[in-house]
Amino acid sequence: MTRREWLFKTVARPAVVGTGVVLGAILLDVWRAAGRFSSHHWSDLGRIDTLVGEGLLPLPAQRIALVRQEDRVAALSLECTHLGCLVNSVDEGFFCPCHGSEFGPRGEVYSGPAPRNLDWLSLRLRHGRLWVQAGTRLREPQWVVIRQDAGDSVGKA
């Protein structure tokens, strides 16, 4: 084996393979992140029977709250409409810890500096699981009708 062949086998080839693996991992991560934050990305929230109770269910990790009204549910964004801080659920609605905006139980703005109500998000029920679409910004709730006796029946009010 020549010196050149030995160098290629012990240094150059592992370096090329290692660089390829690292670049592949970075590209995969970027691709996944792009999908996660795309406006068309749907996130699985879990089984509806474990998620939907009475009233309001904040899900801060998903930056949303599920709002139940009789036999229907909708998803409310927990991102403040001022600068996007995560609002906290309080007794009478939501409070933004960043600059003090207050919102009612349906996201209606009570006091600023938030310029408008919290946004509603698209919500779907598929095979017993709730899915929310990131990036949607609706002015009105998109209600999903829950019909326990009919399985996955979905409708909009």
Where does this chain bind ligand FES (CB under 6 A)? 80, 82-83, 85, 96, 98-101, 113-114
**Shortest distance in whole angstroms from residue 112 CB to ligand FES:** 7
Name the residue nearer to ligand FES (CB basis): 59 or 86.
86
Report in angstroms the alpha-carbon separations of 71 from 18, 82, 153, 154.
Answer: 55, 32, 12, 11
Residue with tokens 């009010």: 157
**Shortest distance in whole angstroms from residue 105 CB to ligand FES:** 17
Name the residue nearer to ligand FES (CB basis): 101 or 133.
101
d(CA 105, CA 95): 10
d(CA 116, CA 41): 25
**Shortest distance in whole angstroms from residue 79 CB to ligand FES:** 9
Name the residue nearer to ligand FES (CB basis): 12 or 83.
83
CA 86 from chain center: how many Å? 12
